[in-house]
Structure formats: C-alpha cells, structure tokens
Structure 1
Amino acid sequence: MLKVGSLDSPSAALTLSRPVRPFDDELMLDFLVTARGEWGRVETAVSVWVTDGLGDFLASLSEDFRGWKGSRVWKSPDHSLRVSAEHRSRGRVHLTWTLSGTDIERPWDFSCTTVHPAGEDMRHLAADVRDFLRVATE
C-alpha cells in the first residue's frame, strides 16, 4: 500500500493498494485507488502498464525542481487516473489526481490536489510509486 498526502491540506490524500496482475504473462497491473478530498471520498480500479511511466513522470517533476510553466499531465491507458502537475510559488508542486469512472452508465470524475515540496520530496514520491509498481510484478 502506498499513501500520498498533502503538505498544505490534510483533507487531500490518495492511497494506492491491492495491486494484482490480471494476466501472468503481461506487464498489466490493476490496483485500487482511494482518493479523499474536501468534498468526499471515492475508490476505483486503475489499470496500467507497469512500463507506462507514472514513476518516470513523477521523477521528471523532481528533476525540474526549479519549476516549469503550465501543466504537465500523465494519464493511465484506461483513462481512469489522470495526474496533472503544476509548479507554483515557494517551490511547491501541486498534483491534481483525477479519478474517472462510470456508475450505472453515468460517467463521473473526482479530483483531489496534493501539495509537495519540489526536488527531493518529489524524488521520494517517484521512487515510492516505482517500488509499488515493481513489487506487484515480482
């Protein structure tokens, strides 16, 4: 299980848990994401290719600790998870985690934003995500 919290808002948090490989011969990974924000809590399953780069995406943010303009975005192949990153003042990275799904044929989205110091803290988050994905495939 991997917990991602927010520096500024204790109400915003994400948990990645229950990783399983649905097919023994593939690098597909399914896991549960629980997101909590100011307006509630939601859980959904996410499917990713282990090599599709969520850890790499987060690592690239840590390498650019001095900042960047605009948003950078990563999406899971099944579009159930989207991570948008913005570098803001005081050396902080705002990660907006958006979960999407369908409930009784109605699409829904839920977002929460976690705030992290740029640089080393982002590097640790990237390593934790890589470890979560790697352990599930061993």
Structure 2
Amino acid sequence: MIDYGESGSPALRVGDPGPRPVHLVFSEPSRPYGDLDSTLDFIVRASGRWVSVETLVRTSDGGGLDFFLSSLAEDFRGWDGKRVWRSLEDDLTISAEHRPDGHVHLMWGLHGRQPADQ
C-alpha cells in the first residue's frame, strides 16, 4: 500500500501488517547534477521494530518505478512469472509475483556499496 507518512513522503508498506511490519520510505527525489540532467536520486529507508537502514537510490528519470508499481495494481487479476524492477546502480530491487490465492508476493532489497566503491 502506498500512503503518506508523518514526514509527508510516500511510504510503501511492505510485509505482514501484524505487530512487526517493515516500511519502505522514499524521500523526495532530487536532481544532483541540475535540472537538465536525467539523473534522479532519492533515499530509501527500510524501518521497523528491529531494523532501520537506508541507502541512496540512483535512477534515470525515476527508472519507471511509478509505472512498475502502478502496473501491479492495474493487473490485480494476476500475471504469469515474476516482475522485477532495478534501480540504475542496483541499489534498490523490487520483485513481484502474483500467487494463485490472489495475493501478490512482493520482495525488495536495499544494496549498499562499500565506501571504496562510492
């Protein structure tokens, strides 16, 4: 579910809505190299009761993330196989599979780089 948290940033709520959910929170995107460049960065934070990690995600004009997420909702009746979205530098990956019971299994990964790689 996408909603707006206390910070006003879009939050993609992932996982069991039970007592220990984990939320992905996306910061407002910014253009680090100016308005004429297609690079669009945002911070993604995964937070929950026992975890709080964040990483910078780099895309080219959003990399189609909005289309990827909206297509999951539009195809609510289901699809075959796994759908995968990756950021430009693989900092964020999201995969989705439609299950026979009508639920969508959504998996995500935040992948930081070693300080020498940055």
Give 1:103 shift.
3.5
Regions of 4+ moved over 3 Å: 103-106
Q: Which has the higher contact order (CA 8 A, sep 6+)?
A: 1
Q: Which has the higher strand share?
A: 1
Give distance in 1, aligned partners of 2:69 and 2:91: 18
Q: Does 1:3 align with 2:11?
A: yes
In structure 2, the residue matched to 1:28 is 39
Unaligned runs of 5+ residues in structure 2 are 1-8
Describe the superposition over 1:54-113 as per-residue Cα deviations: whole angstroms up to 9, x where unpaired: 11111222221111232110101111011101112443222212110123569xxxxxxx
TM-score (norm 2): 0.75
Give 1:16 shift.
0.4
Aligned residues: 106
Unaligned runs of 5+ residues in structure 1 are 107-138
After superposition, the CA RMSD in angstroms is 2.3
Give 1:37 shift.
5.4
Q: Which has the higher helix share?
A: 1
TM-score (norm 1): 0.65
How high is the sequence identity, in percent, across the aligned residues?
A: 44
SS of residue in 1 equivalent to 2:12 = strand
Deviates most, 14-23 or 74-83: 14-23
SS of residue in 2 equivalent to 1:65 = coil
Change in Cα spacing, 1:94 to 1:78, as seen in structure 2 (3 Å) is: same
Give distance in 2, aligned partners of 1:69 and 1:75: 19
Deviates most, 92-101 or 75-84: 92-101
